[in-house]
Chain A
Amino acid sequence: MKSRDLAYVALFAAITAVLGLLPAVPVPGIPVPITAQTLGVMLAGSVLGARRGGLAMLTFLAVVAAGVPLLSGGRGGLAVFVGPSAGYLYSWPLAAFVIGLLTQLTWRRFTLAWAAVANLVGGVAVIYALGIPFTSLYGDVSLSAAATGALSFVPGDLVKAGIASVVAVAVRRAHPVIELPGRRPAAG
């Protein structure tokens, strides 16, 4: 990894932390207020690509695990990694990786639609796919019960996937970061 990649990873871990400092927004018609933090997961994947995006989330989780309260609501430390909702956290590196992978695959014609696909698959489906079984295991409840409980967060996550997609397309136009193999721009 080049030094610039280290910078990308640290900066997107920091962006995710800053998004967690924002207060949760109540949205009419949605039962749970939306927190902005998982937007960081989506942005890391769809701006940096699979590898750097995934590493940015691993870095963010390492910082939180080390005892820095950067998770939304000022949470942090190891306690958040053993609670019933810990599976959602564990999914973040994989989620960013999958979003990044889908983004790279569609990079040449990365329209809003492709961005939305990437963010819905990686940023919503992957997160629930890991989060729900974890709650089910730790809480000793059935998968369907855990999934029903998670339903109230889905509308917020769909809104975030939408925002992340719009932002990802705009950022790609202004300052593309992902480089496809064989078409490297000159070093700058």
Chain B
Amino acid sequence: MTLSLYVPVASPVHRAPAGLKLGLLAALAVALFLVDRLPVAAGTLAAVLLAGLGAARIPGRTLLAQVRPVWPWLVVLLVFHLVVTDWHTGALVVLRLLTLVAAAAVVTATTRVTELVAVVEWLARPLALVGVRPARVGLVIAMTLRFVPLIAERAHRIREAQAARGATGMRWGVLVPLLIQVLRLAHTLGEALDARGADAPAPPPRRRAAASPP
């Protein structure tokens, strides 16, 4: 399993700050909806492709792989507009979406996961107002990456154990034992985080003990 869509190349696009790239992407997402002239939309797409394939030297195949999942949508939308509205609207919709998806793919391919996580942490700063610590956002994201392979492996083991006892075709039968294992794991994991100093919270309110010095 490849755990990143990052394409390691030394380029100005790669070196640009992750926050800037994400900001531009967001701006593009809004701006494209204000555009209703085909040449402008087509020009934007060309500029994005130039940045991605030219400046950032992303292989065409990689970019195409990122865009491929939206193909069926684009075809459906184009056909819909040809039938219901007109070809101009159809072409505009398809160009807009293609441009946005390509731009997003360029940002993803030129920005390391750690940089993007840092931006996510930065974006999460206002959440401090509702009691979420931004540093913990990064921790939880990293923990998720750590536990994907572990959970996949445990699910596989449960399936094997069930198959050994004659269960066949019970795809969903894995879920209950898997979830119970995971919930137990969470219990120990919480303790392990505490033991390694992730949290040393204020003392609990229960005070039945004679802890005062003599």
B188: nearest chain-A partner, CB-CB: A7
DSSP majority for the B interface? helix
Q: Give chain B residues whose Cβ lies under 8 Å from the Cβ of A114.
A: none
Q: Is the CB–CB distance between A9 and B76 below 8 Å?
A: no
Q: Does B129 contact A (CB under 8 A)?
A: no
Q: Does A130 contact B (CB under 8 A)?
A: no
A171: nearest chain-B partner, CB-CB: B179
Contact A79 to B67, CB < 8 A, known contacts A18-B152, A67-B4, A145-B84: yes
Q: Is the CB–CB distance between A66 and B120 below 8 Å?
A: yes
Contact A83 to B70, CB < 8 A, known contacts A2-B199, A68-B4: yes
Residue tally, chain A, CB below 8 Å to B: 61
Bound Cα distance A7, B182 (Å) = 10
Q: Does A30 contact B (CB under 8 A)?
A: no
Q: Is the CB–CB distance between B70 and A13 below 8 Å?
A: no
- A13: contacting residue among B81, B84, B120, B140, CB under 8 A: B140
Q: Give chain B residues whose Cβ lies under 8 Å from the Cβ of A83.
A: 69-70, 73, 97, 100-101
Q: Is the CB–CB distance between B204 and A187 below 8 Å?
A: yes
A2 CB, min distance to chain B CBs, angstroms: 7
Bound Cα distance A57, B70 (Å) = 22
A22: nearest chain-B partner, CB-CB: B171
Q: Is the CB–CB distance between B144 and A14 below 8 Å?
A: yes
Contact A149 to B180, CB < 8 A, known contacts A25-B171, A66-B116, A167-B172: no
Q: Does A59 contact B (CB under 8 A)?
A: yes
A78: nearest chain-B partner, CB-CB: B104
Residue tally, chain B, CB below 8 Å to A: 79
Bound Cα distance A12, B148 (Å) = 10
B6 CB, min distance to chain A CBs, angstroms: 6
Q: Give chain B residues whose Cβ lies under 8 Å from the Cβ of A99.
A: none
Contact A139 to B180, CB < 8 A, known contacts A6-B136, A7-B186: no
Which of B8-16, B38-46, B160-168, B190-198 makes up part of the contact surface? B190-198
Contact A77 to B151, CB < 8 A, known contacts A65-B120, A141-B77, A163-B175: no
A60 CB, min distance to chain B CBs, angstroms: 7
Q: Is the CB–CB distance between B148 and A62 below 8 Å?
A: no
B134 CB, min distance to chain A CBs, angstroms: 12
The residues in A between 57 and 111 inclusive whose CB is less than 8 angstroms from any CB of B are 59-60, 62-63, 65-70, 73, 75-85
A40 CB, min distance to chain B CBs, angstroms: 10
A124 CB, min distance to chain B CBs, angstroms: 18
Q: Is the CB–CB distance between A11 and B186 below 8 Å?
A: yes
Q: Is the CB–CB distance between B104 and A68 below 8 Å?
A: no
A-B pairs with beta carbons under 8 Å apart, 21 shown: A4-B187, A4-B193, A7-B190, A11-B186, A14-B144, A14-B147, A14-B148, A17-B144, A39-B175, A43-B179, A59-B144, A67-B111, A67-B116, A77-B104, A79-B105, A82-B25, A82-B104, A138-B96, A139-B80, A141-B81, A145-B80
Q: A residues touching B (Cβ–Cβ < 8 Å)?
A: 1-15, 17-18, 21-22, 25, 39, 43, 47, 55, 59-60, 62-63, 65-70, 73, 75-85, 138-141, 145, 149, 163, 167, 170-171, 174-175, 177, 187-188
New contact pairs (12) apart from A10-B146, A39-B175, A82-B104, CB-CB < 8 Å: A15-B182, A17-B151, A62-B137, A65-B120, A66-B117, A68-B5, A79-B66, A79-B69, A82-B101, A139-B80, A140-B77, A167-B175
